[in-house]
A and B are shown apart, each in its own frame.
Chain A
């Protein structure tokens, strides 16, 4: 260790209490930042997973243009076979085929327009949380044909209960009149009006027959264990559809663009709070370093008189700050990672969150995301902020005149 570094290190501990207080502020700030950022990123992960788990899935294969236009004719031929093939090739996650059609749903008393989904009863529960939200009756079974599961609000609007019939009229894939009658076997209640008003699911085979779809459908839905697997699954799906130029693969971001935007806007408001925290810590460093420079004016005067150059003095202050900030960062990151690592394993829940999760068929605990980004981003900015705060005290030294400085109080 060369002399100036040793000098800087010793200078720090001439006022150990003051140094510890400043380091303490940095450590506190760092731990808080690591915890909050990890929690924030973790909650985004959860937000994405929960939204996608509801119905959309992480990846979908569709006909080109179906995403924008949702036309009946933009369908995938032999959809169950394609879904089976993708399921085997992927080897992880869940895959299910769906058909979708707009139809007029009518009970004895009322009529409403609905988006009817044809689903594979045996695979749908893997890609969507809806089947787990049945409050009355049951979900569709693989053997069902003229059976339907509807949302609670839709059931209420149509004034139907379990065992009642709903009639559907719409247009088939070939433009012909499509009509069918289905018996309500289950009523789904998610607590979210929008979902409860729109869900209407029938077995895929019956759907295909009613809408003259042949063996076709509109989407192969893939739900993966996590977001990390999305790129690989996308690539796999693309290789499968390579031979049919009409088919495309969409990832969740293409299907739910609002999700990323919501996250970006939440992120922006989060960073504002972090910035305030970081600026407060930077001022505390500025305060400490300015005081330590001012109280050592006479000492610095002597050092200048002995032949030290002002630049070396400024560098000394810089080194002191570097050491102090480095200490704050090292301790902060160490403490912060232990804390978030523990929470990422044990999970973290607000009061009432587990009940809420159970109600919506979602996980009841959230797990902060431990990554290099979440661990180092905050502390790195605090470190830089601290260094920046030392610039002003250091600059003051450049203008120090030896004699005047030695005479200073």
Chain B
């Protein structure tokens, strides 16, 4: 019995030791850097699952720094060419059917993106969470030989955020295992779970992630990353409206 108490104490000490070395802000920062890199280019497929139907699409994504993201749909043929550009918290969407670029108003950022369970804000992969939230390390555990940090992020008073809090489980190789979204009544609304992690371009990447609403278990959206390159040279005009309209 003493053994287990001692072991527990040691474990506790080591846990606090680790958490003292690194702050919650650092963990979030590193996790964001890990999945965005300085620049990145990825190919992914998205599966939207509903009770009575399912739909798949494929897309290319590019990111640069914290605030620039471009998503372009490549399949199915009916939707190919549709794109979404996000720069500094602003978002535009382009559709070849009407050959027009439309700015997505701020009031629509929490609306779903093209019928999926991801919001426009989720798709812009904005790193607002870094500076608009107060982060706190609320726990940690071991999993598959990795240390996992549990971080609770509460938005600042003045932040324009719909969530009451977000809880992230981040592994010590900076892969986000779970990202929970809680509303202001402290109920969990949706959760982004990592289902598969693989090494790609020298980093561990969450290759299969699934966003699911808490109140409807048969409705989810899965994003499968088939290819990703980090820290590559991107054309200068990639994140511009004219490129959104006329891709080169």
Contacts and interface: CB of A to CB of B under 8 A. Distances in A.
Interface of A: 72-73, 104, 106, 110-113, 167-169, 171, 174-177, 179-181
Contacts of A179: 95, 97-98, 100
B219 to A, nearest CB: 11
Mostly helix, strand, loop or mixed at chain A's interface?
Answer: strand
22 contacts: A73-B52, A73-B53, A104-B102, A104-B105, A106-B102, A106-B103, A110-B105, A111-B102, A111-B103, A112-B105, A113-B105, A113-B108, A113-B111, A169-B98, A171-B115, A174-B55, A175-B48, A175-B114, A175-B115, A177-B73, A177-B79, A177-B82
A169 B95 CA distance: 8
Interface range, B side: 20 to 34
A242 B115 CA distance: 31
Nearest to B52: A73
Contacts of B102: 104, 106, 111, 167, 169
B52 A180 contact: no
Give me the 6 closest cross-chain CB pairs, A-B, nearest first: A179-B95, A171-B115, A179-B97, A106-B102, A175-B55, A179-B98
B98 A180 contact: yes
B87 interface: no
B76 interface: yes
B225 interface: no
Nearest to B93: A169
A107 to B, nearest CB: 10
A73 B114 CA distance: 14
B111 A180 contact: no
A111 B108 CA distance: 10
Nearest to A113: B108
Contacts of B248: none
B114 A177 contact: yes
Contact of A176 (B79, B93, B107): B79
B223 to A, nearest CB: 15
B3 interface: no
B114 A104 contact: no
Contacts of A174: 53, 55
A180 B97 contact: yes
A111 B111 CA distance: 14
Nearest to A109: B103
A113 B112 CA distance: 12
Contacts of A180: 97-98
B164 to A, nearest CB: 23
**Taking each of A110, A169, A180, A181, which has the highest tally of chain B beta carbons within 10 Å of its own beta carbon?**
A169
